[in-house]
Amino acid sequence: MAKNRFGLLRSAHIVFQKDIHLEFRTRYSINAILMFAITTLTAISFSIGPMNLRSEVLSPLLWILLFFSSMSGLSHIFVREEEQQTADTLRLVTSPASVFLGKWFFNIVLLFGLEVIIVPLFLAMMGAGVEGIWIFLLILFIGSIGLASVATIIAAIISQASAKGALFAVVSFPISLPILISGIHGTRLAMDGVQFSDCLSDLQVLISFSIVIVTLSLLLFEFIWRK
Amino acid sequence: MFILKVFNILESDKLNGVHMFEIHADQIAQKFNQRIIFRDISFKIKSGHSLVFLGPNGSGKTTLVRVICQLIRPTKGKVRFFRNDEEIKQDQIYPFLGLVGPYLQLYNSLTALENYEFFAKIRRQPVDVNHFKKLMGRMGLAGREMDELRTYSSGMLHRVKYVMALIHQPEILILDEPTSNLDEKGAEIVYEIMEEQRRSKILIVATNEPEEIKFGEEQIRLAS
């Protein structure tokens, strides 16, 4: 049993490594997300001008930016396999669970990597201050795992459809709502510098939602992956 | 459209090898929407034997291959794999299976060597560059190991698919249109591979080429 689990994680790691390698060779997802985020950020920055926005506005703006930026690139992880007809090759060499875990981890790493650039840029361009920096980072960390989890399973579903691009954001949005609502609320509180205990309910929602999504995805993925 | 033959080629056991592999296909049927592609396909095959799927275009040869490789679920019936009479679980069949077909693609943005490293590792094989170079040489691709696959011609891509399908010396080799896109020299190499495979392992071929049909001891003929 332990050997099987280790084998699963090892295979997932190999799928992850392959995707990282492919991404650095083509840079499709990185470019898509980064270009979307910077364009949107610039547009928001110009439209707001010198106004100093409160945390009630800044927090939703940050999460809208993160959500739509991730929607522009995270679906590529499965769409690329289907469009380049390598999905069958992958189906032939490893288990569905390894594929899901490898690709889920890739999306998490990609989203974290881009947040390292996007979030400081957002705070600097909006002139926003964060009082509770550790709570802010924790909310962002767990929220991103949730977003990447939703994006990965929805990407697997829409990669089988014909109108992939349009479907991805439309299908992901209602499923991501609990993450967005708790993320926005928690981020606002963190920006205002409240105590950790005040953000606990948002963190609980983010953690439990991410666990539910990943568990369901692992259970259902085989039916999505094998036609 | 329907089956034609149900048979069993288990009776003669050619091998005394340690690992004896078997495939049991039981009453497989496949339907897309309301259209029946095939039904009631049953066969058993074991190491040291070969099988050919025949039939006109659209008769379901590729679909049958995909069902056997578990790339698609059959509408009805079951395909089971055995090693030394012990059933192999679905998620443990990968190290024993090799498939080459026109619809299977490799990672074009990676080099042949990078593709090899990925497929060797995921199949839990040691990464042996000398073995890989030998296979590339055998397929007439020596010296192209470090080139990205997008720079290969369609014939070369088909050859490199054989390299990736053979790196783990699969006990079950399934070939769909084995020599499509290949020149005469390439086809000869593939025939050698087929001959070697059917001697001690399982070979399944989906084809209509007379040259290739003769590699199958038994045939399943699908009707359109």
A11, A88, A226 ranked by CB distance to B122: nearest: A11
Looking at residue B8, its pLDDT comes to: 47
Residue A179, SS3 per DSSP: helix
Looking at residue B151, its pLDDT comes to: 95
Give B-chain residues touching A94 at CB under 8 angstroms.
94, 122
The H or E element spanning position B221 is strand B218-221
Asked if A14's CB is within 8 angstroms of B71's CB, the reply is no
- Interface residue B105 vs chain A (CB under 8 A): yes
Give A-chain residues touching B106 at CB under 8 angstroms.
86, 89
Looking at residue B2, its pLDDT comes to: 42
Backbone angles phi, psi at B167, to 5 degrees: -60, -30
Whether B21 and B57 have beta carbons less than 8 Å apart is answered as no
Q: Region B10-34: what's the mean pLDDT?
A: 75
Looking at residue B90, its pLDDT comes to: 80
The H or E element spanning position A103 is helix A96-126
- Closest residue in chain B to residue A21, using alpha carbons only: B110
Q: Region B185-209: what's the mean pLDDT?
A: 93
Asked if B99's CB is within 8 angstroms of A84's CB, the reply is no
pLDDT, tens only, B130-178: 999 999 999 999 999 999 999 999 999 999 999 999 998 999 999 999 9
Tell me, what's the ipTM?
A: 0.86
Give B-chain residues touching A88 at CB under 8 angstroms.
66, 71, 103-105
Spatial distance between the Cα atoms of B80 and B103, rounded to a whole number of angstroms: 23
Looking at residue B18, its pLDDT comes to: 62
pTM of the model: 0.88
Structure tokens at A151: 């994006």
pLDDT, tens only, A54-67: 889 999 999 999 99
**What CA–CA distances, in Å, run from A223 to A81, A92, A104, B39?**
17, 15, 17, 23
Whether A97 and A221 have beta carbons less than 8 Å apart is answered as yes
Looking at residue B33, its pLDDT comes to: 83
Structure tokens at B215: 């590699």
Å between A99 CA and nearest CA of chain B: 11
pLDDT tens for chain A, residues 1 to 227: 555 667 889 999 999 999 999 999 988 888 888 899 999 999 988 888 777 888 899 999 999 999 999 888 888 899 999 989 999 999 999 999 999 999 999 999 999 998 999 999 999 988 888 889 999 999 999 999 999 999 999 999 998 887 676 788 888 999 999 999 999 999 999 999 888 889 999 999 999 999 999 999 999 998 898 87
Whether B217 and B186 have beta carbons less than 8 Å apart is answered as no
Looking at residue A4, its pLDDT comes to: 65
pLDDT at B3 > cutoff 50:
no
Q: A–B: how many Cβ contacts below 8 A?
A: 59
Which residue type, as a one-letter code, is found at position A20?
I
Spatial distance between the Cα atoms of B113 and A57, rounded to a whole number of angstroms: 51
Q: Region B186-207: what's the mean pLDDT?
A: 93
Helix axis angle for A55-73 and A28-48, nearest 10°, is: 150
- Interface residue A11 vs chain B (CB under 8 A): yes
Q: Is B2 left (phi over 0), alpha (psi -120 to 50) or beta?
A: beta
